[in-house]
Amino acid sequence: MPRATAWGTLAAVMSASAGPPRGLRGGVALAPLTTFELGGPARWLVEAGDAAAVVDALRWARERGLPVTVLGGGSNVVVADSGVDGLVLRVVACGVAVEAEAGGVLVTAAAGEPWDALVERCVGEGWAGLECLSGIPGTAGATPIQNVGAYGQEAGDTIERVRAIDRASLEVVELGARDLGLGYRTSTLREQPDRFVVVSVSFRLRPAGSPTIAYPELANALAVERHPPSLAAVRRAVLELRRSKSMVIDPADPNRRSAGSFFVNPVLAPHELRAVQERSLAAGIDEAVPSFPAGGDRRKVPAAWLIERAGFGKGHVAGRVGISTRHALALVNRGGATTGELLGLARGIRTRVGELFGVRLRPEPVFLGFPPGDPLEGGEAG
């Protein structure tokens, strides 16, 4: 269970002021703070540089009965066209602390620390455990929420603990890996977004450890290496693979207005996978449905394969939105679009995949400013 820390008591004392939190702004456009560049404004916004500032902002909102929405680096969110009511809180605190321990090193990053900069430093120091997560946009504080993963590695493989503000008590608590409920692109932090605000994340890494090479595409990319690949070689290969799919932020890339993979790869039981194969053959698709181990007897099916066979290929255009020319899983704002248009395309994709394969795709981004429930079920918020 999470436990309060002395830091939490200090934060509560420091935030005794009843005045407005530092840096409070009203009517702030959120689209420029997201990689999709979509959505309306925040009624109020605070950028908190430390735990005390987070507590100040939470207390101020509570006293006024305002909902609080946490926004990180904006790389995995969809903001409603109507914007976000209440207070939007961004934790922008940066910094990295390193503790050497027997058999490992504990790297603690403040929630606002840019993620790829942290990975680059760890690779440069020879600390294994994050190398396959190179090039992912966003901040360190978001990694346990989504249990960020790529190329056979997940943040949850190395997360030791998370420090967070308990929104009920306004104390800092420590959450161990077991408290986080880490799963495939999910966690208790994502499932219970109104409970905690992450302020730092600690990763246990392996000094001089071997890189993780578990993903076939990455292994193929590294096959030209004459010697066992270094962490740096794995990072370079991952960055190149991501760049080839427009999965690295590049202002010159026409596919840049995206949140990366929009749908999660479905994980299916054996009978479900057989049903998908039968439906595929009945639809005249004369190829085996690709799948990969996902624990036990379950298999992971690439959502991109399902989407393309359902008629939504790379470069698909639907007005001002579309699909990336380089990756069928990435929906893009082609310029000047609305969130409503984006969701219209996503609904069309999910409906067609469901009709053809009997698989219900689950969106990966976090949706801000929407009513409770599945945002792909009905119309856009307000």
Query: What amino acid is encoded at 172 in this protein?
Result: V
Please tell me the predicted confidence (pLDDT) of residue 2.
55
Please tell me the predicted confidence (pLDDT) of residue 226.
63
CA–CA distances in Å: residue 377 to residues 134, 148, 346, 362: 34, 25, 10, 12
Domains of the chain as residue ranges with CATH: 3-91 (3.30.43.10), 96-244 (3.30.465.10), 258-368 (3.90.78.10)
Which of 246, 258, 261, 324 is catalytic? The answer is 261
Please tell me the predicted confidence (pLDDT) of residue 245.
95
Gyration radius from the chain CA atoms: 21
The pTM assigned to this predicted structure is: 0.90
Active-site annotation holds for 364: yes
Please tell me the predicted confidence (pLDDT) of residue 206.
97
Which of 43, 90, 163, 185 is catalytic? The answer is 185
Please tell me the predicted confidence (pLDDT) of residue 101.
87
d(CA 357, CA 341): 24
Which of 113, 154, 341, 364 is catalytic? The answer is 364
DSSP string, 18-32: -SPPTT-EEEEE-GG
Q: Residues with Cβ < 8 Å from 262, sequence gap 6 or more?
A: 329, 330, 331, 346, 363, 364, 365
Please tell me the predicted confidence (pLDDT) of residue 18.
55
Judge contact between 113 and 140, C-beta under 8 A. yes
Active-site annotation holds for 350: no
Please tell me the predicted confidence (pLDDT) of residue 381.
40
Active-site annotation holds for 185: yes
**Residues in the chain with pLDDT values less than 50:** 4-17, 381-382
